[in-house]
C-alpha cells in the first residue's frame, strides 16, 4: 500500500515543463478520479478547492463538484451538486432542537439516504468528466466519524478511484506538538477511510513546508525540534510523560509516513497545484493496485457475514416454530425468505422507482430531495 514515491518527491517532479499539461484523468482509462477534500476549520480547504477548480478550468479540464457542507453561507465556485439544495440546515436545527454540529450531521444523514441517486448521476456523467471534487464540512469530525460520512465515502469509492486530500494549515503546524497532533489525525483518517491520502500543506506563501518534509523523513530532526521547543536538552517535559509520549508517537508514525505523499501548496498564489495533480495521478494507480482489491475483499466478507447471520436467524426461527407448533405442520410460509419469494412472484415485492430515470441533470437531484427538505 506504500506510495512508490518518497515524501517530497512529488514536489520535485512537478518542476518539469510537462507538469502543467497533466490532469488526473488524462493518462488513465476508466472512471474519473474523485478527490475528497478534508481539513480542519480554517485550514484553507474551501480556498484550495477554489484554486483547484480554477486550475482545472484553465487546462480545459473542468471538474464535477459536489458540496457536502450544509452550513456554509457562500461558496466561491460553481457546484454541480449541492447538499443545500436538498436540506435546509437552519430548519433542521430548529425543528430537531440541535446545535451546529448536530445539525450538520443530521443534514448529512438525510443526504446519505439519497446517495444512490448521486452515484447514478456521477455514473451518467462519467464519460464526459475528468475528475470529481468533493468539498466536506469544516467540522471534520461531523463527516469523518459519522455513519453518513462513511456511507457517502464508501459509495463514491466503490465506483470511482478515490483520493483523500487532507488539508493542513502550515503556519499553525510549525510547533512540534501541533505537527504531531495533525499527523495523528491524518493517521486516524487514513485507517478510517482506508483510501489513498495526500497531505496538502496549505498556505506556504505564509510559511514554507520544508520543516514538515524534514520531520517526516528524519526522526532525529524532529527530536532536535522537540528539544529546541523547550530550550533545554531534555526535550518537551524533560524525561516525563510528555517527552516519552511524543518520542513514542514519532517512532510509530515513521512507518505511517511511507504511505503518504506530501505536497506543499499555496491556495492563495496557486503554487504547488501541478504537483498536487501529479500526486493524485499516482494515488489513483495505488488505489487500483492496493485499495480496490482490499475493498472488494472487505465487501465480500460483509456479504458472507450477513449470509451467516441470516442463516442463524433462520435456524432460530425454525426452532421456535418447532417448539410452538406442538408437532403440527403449518400451511403458511414459515420463513421470511418464503414470504419474500411469494411476494416477488406475485409482483408485490420491493419496487424499483422509475424516478431514478429522471435524474438527467443536476436539477433532478433537487426535485428528488424535496421529500427530505425540512
pLDDT tens digits, 68-123: 999 998 899 999 999 999 999 999 999 999 999 999 999 999 999 999 999 999 99
The dihedral formed by the CA atoms of 219, 221, 222 and 227, expressed in degrees to the nearest 10: 130
Residue 128 in domain: yes
- pLDDT on residue 6: 41
Q: Is 58 helix (H, G, I), strand (E, B) or coil?
A: helix
Give the chain's domain count.
Answer: 1
Residue 233's Cβ-count burial label (10 Å; 0-12, 13-18, 19+) is exposed
- pLDDT on residue 324: 57
pTM (2 decimals)?
Answer: 0.72
- Residue 148 pLDDT > 70: yes
- Residue 170 pLDDT > 70: yes
- pLDDT on residue 339: 36
- Residue 233 pLDDT > 70: no
Residue 264 in domain: yes
- Of the listed ranges 202-206, 309-313, 353-357, the one predicted with least confidence: 353-357
C-alpha cell at 346: 406475485
- Residue 197 pLDDT > 50: yes
C-alpha cell at 163: 483520493
Rounded Cα gap, residues 167 and 87, in angstroms? 26
C-alpha cell at 345: 412472484
- Residue 302 pLDDT > 80: no
| Cα-to-chain-centroid distance, residue 206 | 27
**Cβ neighbours of 230 (radius 10 Å):** 15
Residue 312 in domain: no
DSSP string, 232-285: STT-TTTTSHHHHHHHHHHHHHHHHGGGEEEEE--TTT-TTHHHHHHHHHHHHH
Residue 252 in domain: yes
- Residue 4 pLDDT > 90: no
Residue 100 in domain: yes
Q: What is the mean pLDDT of the chain?
A: 78
Rounded Cα gap, residues 167 and 369, in angstroms? 30
Please state at what angle helix 147-159 crosses helix 292-325, rounded to 10 degrees. Answer: 120
C-alpha cell at 271: 503554487
Q: Are 200 and 161 a contacting pair, CB within 8 Å?
A: no
- pLDDT on residue 24: 57
Edge to edge, the sheet with strand 81-82 lists 81-82, 64-67, 132-135, 34-39, 162-169, 197-202, 260-264
Domain of 225, CATH number, reads: 3.40.50.300
Q: Which secondary-structure segment (H or E) carries 163?
A: strand 162-169
- With vertex at residue 211, the alpha carbon angle to CA 206 and CA 212, rounded to the nearest 5 degrees, is 95
Rounded Cα gap, residues 293 and 219, in angstroms? 33
Residue 354 in domain: no
- pLDDT on residue 248: 76
- pLDDT on residue 243: 66
DSSP letter (8 states) at residue 173: G
**Average pLDDT estimate for 41-54:** 93
Q: Are 166 and 35 a contacting pair, CB within 8 Å?
A: no
- Of the listed ranges 84-93, 280-289, 313-322, 347-356, the one predicted with least confidence: 347-356
- pLDDT on residue 291: 80
**Cβ neighbours of 115 (radius 10 Å):** 16
Residue 112 in domain: yes
- pLDDT on residue 217: 85
Residue 302 in domain: no
| Cα-to-chain-centroid distance, residue 44 | 17
> What percent of the chain is predicted at pLDDT more than 90?
44
- Residue 161 pLDDT > 60: yes
- With vertex at residue 42, the alpha carbon angle to CA 230 and CA 49, rounded to the nearest 5 degrees, is 130
Q: Is 114 helix (H, G, I), strand (E, B) or coil?
A: coil
DSSP string, 111-161: HHTTHHHHHHHHHHHGGG-S-EEEE--SSHHHHHSSHHHHHHHHHHHHHS-
Confidence tier at 143 by pLDDT (50, 70, 90): very high
Structural domain including 170 reads 34-230+247-285
The C-alpha R_g of the chain, in whole angstroms, comes to: 25
> Which residue in this structure is represented by grid cell 439544495?
85
Amino acid at each position: 500500500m506504500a506510495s512508490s514515491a518518497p515524501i517530497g518527491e512529488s514536489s520535485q517532479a512537478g518542476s518539469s515543463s510537462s507538469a502543467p499539461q497533466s490532469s488526473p484523468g488524462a493518462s488513465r482509462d476508466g472512471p474519473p478520479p474523485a478527490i475528497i477534500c478534508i481539513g480542519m476549520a480554517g485550514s484553507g480547504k474551501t480556498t484550495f478547492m477554489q484554486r483547484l477548480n480554477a486550475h482545472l478550468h484553465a487546462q480545459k479540464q473542468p471538474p464535477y463538484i459536489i458540496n457536502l457542507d450544509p452550513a456554509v453561507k457562500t461558496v466561491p465556485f460553481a457546484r454541480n451538486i449541492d447538499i443545500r439544495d436538498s436540506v435546509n440546515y437552519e430548519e433542521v436545527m430548529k425543528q430537531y432542537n440541535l446545535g451546529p454540529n448536530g445539525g450538520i450531521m443530521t443534514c448529512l444523514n438525510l443526504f446519505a439516504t439519497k446517495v444512490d441517486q448521486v452515484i447514478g448521476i456521477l455514473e451518467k456523467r462519467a464519460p464526459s468528466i475528468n475528475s470529481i471534487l468533493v468539498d466536506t464540512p469544516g467540522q471534520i469530525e461531523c463527516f469523518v466519524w459519522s455513519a453518513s460520512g462513511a456511507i457517502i465515502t464508501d459509495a463514491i469509492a466503490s465506483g470511482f478511484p478515490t483520493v483523500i486530500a487532507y488539508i493542513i494549515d502550515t503556519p499553525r503546524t510549525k510547533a512540534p506538538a501541533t505537527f504531531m497532533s495533525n499527523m495523528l489525525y491524518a493517521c486516524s483518517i487514513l485507517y478510517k477511510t482506508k483510501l489513498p491520502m495526500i497531505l496538502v500543506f496549505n498556505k506556504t506563501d505564509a510559511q514554507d513546508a520544508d520543516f514538515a518534509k524534514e520531520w517526516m523523513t528524519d526522526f532525529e530532526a524532529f527530536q532536535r525540534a522537540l528539544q529546541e521547543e523547550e530550550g533545554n536538552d531534555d526535550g518537551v517535559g524533560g524525561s516525563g510523560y510528555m517527552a516519552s509520549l511524543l518520542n513514542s508517537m514519532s517512532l510509530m508514525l515513521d512507518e505511517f509516513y511511507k504511505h503518504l505523499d506530501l505536497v506543499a501548496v499555496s491556495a492563495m498564489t496557486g503554487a504547488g497545484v501541478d504537483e498536487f495533480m501529479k500526486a493524485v495521478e499516482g494515488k489513483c494507480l495505488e488505489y487500483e493496485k492496493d485499495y480496490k482489491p482490499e475493498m472488494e475483499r472487505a465487501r465480500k466478507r460483509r456479504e458472507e457475514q450477513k449470509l451467516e447471520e441470516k442463516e442463524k436467524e433462520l435456524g432460530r426461527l425454525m426452532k421456535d416454530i418447532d417448539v410452538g407448533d406442538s408437532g403440527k405442520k403449518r400451511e403458511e410460509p414459515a420463513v421470511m425468505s418464503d414470504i419474500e419469494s411469494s411476494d416477488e412472484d406475485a409482483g408485490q415485492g420491493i419496487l424499483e422507482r422509475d424516478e431514478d430515470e429522471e435524474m438527467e441533470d443536476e436539477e433532478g437531484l433537487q426535485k428528488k430531495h424535496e421529500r427530505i427538505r425540512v
